[in-house]
Amino acid sequence: MKRVLVVCLGNICRSPIGEELLRIHAKKKNLKLFVDSAGTSGWHQGNLPDPRSCEVMRRHGHSIESQRSRPLVEQDLHTFDYILVMDAQNFADVSALTPGTADIKQFIEKTDVPDPYYGPGDGFQRVYDMLNAAAKDWIDSWANESNGALR
Protein backbone atom coordinates (compact mmCIF):
# COMPACT_ATOMS: atom_id res chain seq x y z
CA MET A 1 0.00 0.00 0.00
CA LYS A 2 1.34 3.42 -0.98
CA ARG A 3 1.39 6.15 1.65
CA VAL A 4 0.87 9.64 0.21
CA LEU A 5 0.94 13.02 1.94
CA VAL A 6 -0.49 16.08 0.17
CA VAL A 7 1.02 19.39 1.26
CA CYS A 8 0.16 23.06 0.83
CA LEU A 9 0.82 26.13 2.98
CA GLY A 10 -1.96 26.05 5.58
CA ASN A 11 -3.65 22.70 4.92
CA ILE A 12 -7.09 24.28 4.61
CA CYS A 13 -7.57 24.99 0.88
CA ARG A 14 -5.62 22.96 -1.67
CA SER A 15 -4.27 19.94 0.18
CA PRO A 16 -7.60 18.85 1.70
CA ILE A 17 -9.09 18.83 -1.81
CA GLY A 18 -6.10 16.91 -3.19
CA GLU A 19 -6.21 14.41 -0.34
CA GLU A 20 -9.85 13.55 -0.93
CA LEU A 21 -9.55 13.43 -4.73
CA LEU A 22 -6.67 10.95 -4.47
CA ARG A 23 -8.78 8.85 -2.12
CA ILE A 24 -11.78 8.97 -4.50
CA HIS A 25 -9.79 8.00 -7.60
CA ALA A 26 -7.94 5.24 -5.72
CA LYS A 27 -11.26 3.73 -4.66
CA LYS A 28 -12.48 3.74 -8.28
CA LYS A 29 -9.38 1.73 -9.27
CA ASN A 30 -9.47 -0.52 -6.18
CA LEU A 31 -5.99 0.78 -5.35
CA LYS A 32 -4.98 0.51 -1.71
CA LEU A 33 -3.71 3.91 -0.70
CA PHE A 34 -3.22 5.67 2.62
CA VAL A 35 -3.51 9.41 2.06
CA ASP A 36 -3.26 12.36 4.45
CA SER A 37 -2.51 16.06 4.14
CA ALA A 38 -0.52 18.69 6.00
CA GLY A 39 0.61 22.30 5.77
CA THR A 40 4.11 23.74 5.79
CA SER A 41 2.82 26.20 8.40
CA GLY A 42 0.92 25.45 11.57
CA TRP A 43 -1.27 28.56 11.33
CA HIS A 44 -4.53 26.64 11.07
CA GLN A 45 -3.69 23.56 13.16
CA GLY A 46 -6.84 21.70 14.16
CA ASN A 47 -9.11 23.79 11.91
CA LEU A 48 -11.59 22.48 9.37
CA PRO A 49 -10.83 23.04 5.69
CA ASP A 50 -11.74 26.47 4.35
CA PRO A 51 -15.54 26.70 3.84
CA ARG A 52 -14.95 27.44 0.15
CA SER A 53 -12.97 24.20 -0.23
CA CYS A 54 -15.79 22.34 1.50
CA GLU A 55 -18.34 23.99 -0.78
CA VAL A 56 -16.55 23.13 -4.04
CA MET A 57 -16.23 19.53 -2.89
CA ARG A 58 -19.93 19.40 -1.92
CA ARG A 59 -20.88 20.70 -5.39
CA HIS A 60 -19.09 17.64 -6.80
CA GLY A 61 -20.69 15.22 -4.34
CA HIS A 62 -17.78 14.87 -1.91
CA SER A 63 -17.17 15.80 1.71
CA ILE A 64 -13.96 16.94 3.41
CA GLU A 65 -15.54 18.14 6.66
CA SER A 66 -13.92 15.32 8.66
CA GLN A 67 -10.43 16.60 7.84
CA ARG A 68 -8.45 18.83 10.22
CA SER A 69 -5.42 20.93 9.44
CA ARG A 70 -2.09 19.77 10.75
CA PRO A 71 1.47 20.95 10.24
CA LEU A 72 4.05 18.95 8.35
CA VAL A 73 6.56 17.31 10.71
CA GLU A 74 9.97 15.86 9.88
CA GLN A 75 8.73 12.32 10.65
CA ASP A 76 6.38 12.66 7.64
CA LEU A 77 9.43 12.43 5.37
CA HIS A 78 10.01 8.91 6.71
CA THR A 79 6.38 7.80 7.12
CA PHE A 80 5.17 8.52 3.57
CA ASP A 81 6.30 7.12 0.22
CA TYR A 82 5.29 10.26 -1.65
CA ILE A 83 4.85 13.85 -0.58
CA LEU A 84 2.91 15.76 -3.23
CA VAL A 85 3.26 19.52 -2.85
CA MET A 86 1.16 22.24 -4.43
CA ASP A 87 3.83 24.71 -5.53
CA ALA A 88 7.54 25.49 -5.79
CA GLN A 89 7.62 27.21 -2.39
CA ASN A 90 6.06 24.15 -0.72
CA PHE A 91 8.64 22.01 -2.53
CA ALA A 92 11.48 24.17 -1.18
CA ASP A 93 10.04 24.17 2.35
CA VAL A 94 9.61 20.38 2.44
CA SER A 95 13.00 19.77 0.83
CA ALA A 96 14.68 21.97 3.46
CA LEU A 97 13.72 19.52 6.21
CA THR A 98 15.98 16.66 7.25
CA PRO A 99 16.11 14.25 4.30
CA GLY A 100 13.83 11.27 4.56
CA THR A 101 12.76 8.38 2.39
CA ALA A 102 9.72 10.09 0.83
CA ASP A 103 9.79 11.04 -2.82
CA ILE A 104 8.86 14.75 -2.94
CA LYS A 105 7.02 15.78 -6.11
CA GLN A 106 4.75 18.58 -7.24
CA PHE A 107 1.13 17.44 -7.37
CA ILE A 108 1.15 18.70 -10.97
CA GLU A 109 4.61 18.36 -12.47
CA LYS A 110 6.30 21.73 -13.16
CA THR A 111 3.05 23.56 -12.34
CA ASP A 112 2.15 25.60 -9.28
CA VAL A 113 -1.39 25.04 -8.10
CA PRO A 114 -2.46 28.59 -7.15
CA ASP A 115 -3.51 29.25 -3.58
CA PRO A 116 -7.17 30.32 -3.87
CA TYR A 117 -7.33 31.77 -0.33
CA TYR A 118 -7.06 35.42 -1.44
CA GLY A 119 -7.81 34.92 -5.13
CA PRO A 120 -10.88 35.43 -7.30
CA GLY A 121 -14.21 33.75 -6.58
CA ASP A 122 -13.71 30.95 -9.09
CA GLY A 123 -10.29 30.03 -7.67
CA PHE A 124 -11.54 27.06 -5.69
CA GLN A 125 -13.28 25.58 -8.73
CA ARG A 126 -10.11 26.05 -10.81
CA VAL A 127 -8.05 24.34 -8.09
CA TYR A 128 -10.58 21.49 -7.94
CA ASP A 129 -10.38 21.01 -11.73
CA MET A 130 -6.56 21.03 -11.71
CA LEU A 131 -6.28 18.63 -8.77
CA ASN A 132 -8.99 16.29 -10.00
CA ALA A 133 -7.21 15.72 -13.31
CA ALA A 134 -3.82 15.32 -11.62
CA ALA A 135 -5.18 12.98 -8.93
CA LYS A 136 -6.64 10.74 -11.62
CA ASP A 137 -3.26 10.72 -13.40
CA TRP A 138 -1.39 9.79 -10.19
CA ILE A 139 -3.81 6.97 -9.43
CA ASP A 140 -3.71 5.66 -13.00
CA SER A 141 0.09 5.65 -12.87
CA TRP A 142 0.22 3.85 -9.51
CA ALA A 143 -2.44 1.37 -10.59
CA ASN A 144 -0.37 0.57 -13.71
CA GLU A 145 2.74 0.08 -11.54
CA SER A 146 0.91 -2.34 -9.29
CA ASN A 147 -0.34 -4.25 -12.34
CA GLY A 148 3.23 -4.56 -13.67
CA ALA A 149 2.81 -2.07 -16.50
CA LEU A 150 5.55 0.41 -17.29
CA ARG A 151 5.06 4.10 -16.52
What positions carry a catalytic annotation? Answer: 8, 14, 115
Query: 54 near 48, Cβ under 8 Å?
Result: yes
Q: Are strands 82-85 and 2-8 parallel, antiparallel or unpaired?
A: parallel
Sign (positive or negative) of CA dihedral 40, 46, 51, 56:
positive
* Distance in angstroms (rounded) separating the CA atoms of residues 136 and 48: 25
CA nearest to 86, candidates 119, 109, 63? 109
Quote the strand ranges of 1-151, DSSP E: 2-8, 33-39, 82-85, 103-106
Cα 24 to Cα 27: distance, rounded to the nearest angstrom: 5
